């Protein structure tokens, strides 16, 4: 499910976007399972949300770094 932060930092932008898509799909599945009462460990929802936030942060950091290097 969750990747180590160091592994995420080593990914390029396209890989991060793909990982973000997978994490959002997983969050959707967990929400459905929670709504139907099939989710035993509700902490998984919070973990996936944090993973999505980490990935979004890394994507933004890479975008800023690319803009700075293009501007110089």
Confidence of residue 5 (pLDDT cuts 50, 70, 90): confident
Cα–Cα distance, 6 to 3 (Å, whole number) = 8
Residue 1: per-residue pLDDT? 44
Residue 3: per-residue pLDDT? 55
- How much is the mean pLDDT over the chain? 93
- What's the predicted TM-score (pTM) here? 0.88
Task: State mean pLDDT over 50-66.
Answer: 96
Which residues neighbour 20 within 8 Å (Cβ) at sequence distance 6 or greater? 52, 55, 56, 59
Confidence of residue 21 (pLDDT cuts 50, 70, 90): very high
In words, the CATH class of domain 5-71 is mainly alpha
């Amino acid at each position: 499910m969750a990747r180590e932060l160091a592994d995420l930092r080593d990914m390029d932008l396209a890989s991060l976007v793909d990982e973000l898509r997978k994490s959002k799909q997983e969050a959707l599945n967990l929400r459905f399972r929670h709504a139907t009462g099939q989710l035993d460990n509700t902490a998984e929802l919070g973990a996936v949300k944090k993973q999505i936030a980490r990935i979004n942060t890394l994507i933004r950091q890479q975008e800023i770094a690319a803009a700075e290097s293009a501007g110089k």
